[in-house]
Chains A and B, each alone.
Chain A
Amino acid sequence: EPEVTQTPSHQVTQMGQEVILRCVPISNHLYFYWYRQILGQKVEFLVSFYNNEISEKSEIFDDQFSVERPDGSNFTLKIRSTKLEDSAMYFCASKSGNSPLHFGNGTRLTVT
């Protein structure tokens, strides 16, 4: 069964550094999302992306965050200058039409 792939599974970075989290959505999916889950807390919506542009973003998704679909397969989340509070599990998800979201296995980001 096709799946959403995220790399790396764990990323450690120093505060203030830029980090790029990578995702390969399921190939025939058109809608792409990033969510995050701070340890022990709820899963939170960050951003949705469709037709090569952001369709919706949450309050969390400020100017430090950006998303890109640089080619036909990858979908990336960039955090420009990481803060300690950005430490979380980041999930990429994709879907086609009115179908449930398929989540990747997540990237655990640790900011030190």
Chain B
Amino acid sequence: AQKITQTQPGMFVQEKEAVTLDCTYDTSDPSYGLFWYKQPSSGEMIFLIYQGSYDQQNATEGRYSLNFQKARKSANLVISASQLGDSAMYFCAMREGGATDSWGKLQFGAGTQVVVTP
């Protein structure tokens, strides 16, 4: 079964608009964490934002915010005021378990390709 589901294979968004990228997850472990990574066409993986299962507040990092709805098992990424440089593939990922080593074993979704247009 899919642990991380990203239902949007691709999205177009206009510059300066906000965009929401969907991510749902499946786990029975009470301790887990959700990550978003950005992969530009050059290929590197860039960490954007993290949300822990016990965190009370939604995570925010600059223009990135994570809309965490625990009961619905969703962790959507919101990018505000899109810029041309935001064009990239975006991956949602999850770690399960609270052990330190588990923080490095991530399960990734299929990704959403975002294209920002002028």
Binding site for B on A (CB under 8 A): 31, 33, 35, 41-45, 48, 50, 55-56, 89, 91, 93, 95, 97-106, 108
Q: Is the interface of B mostly helix, strand, loop or mixed?
A: mixed
Size bracket of the B interface: 20 to 34
Supply 18 further A-B pairs (C-beta < 8 A) apart from A35-B106, A43-B108, A48-B105.
A31-B104, A33-B105, A42-B109, A43-B106, A44-B108, A45-B105, A45-B106, A45-B107, A56-B105, A89-B43, A98-B100, A101-B35, A101-B47, A101-B106, A102-B47, A103-B44, A103-B46, A106-B43
Binding site for A on B (CB under 8 A): 35, 37, 42-47, 50, 91, 93, 100-101, 103-111
Shortest distance from the beta carbon of A30 to any chain B beta carbon, whole Å: 9
The reply to whether B45 and A100 contact each other, CB–CB distance below 8 Å, is no
The reply to whether B45 and A43 contact each other, CB–CB distance below 8 Å, is yes
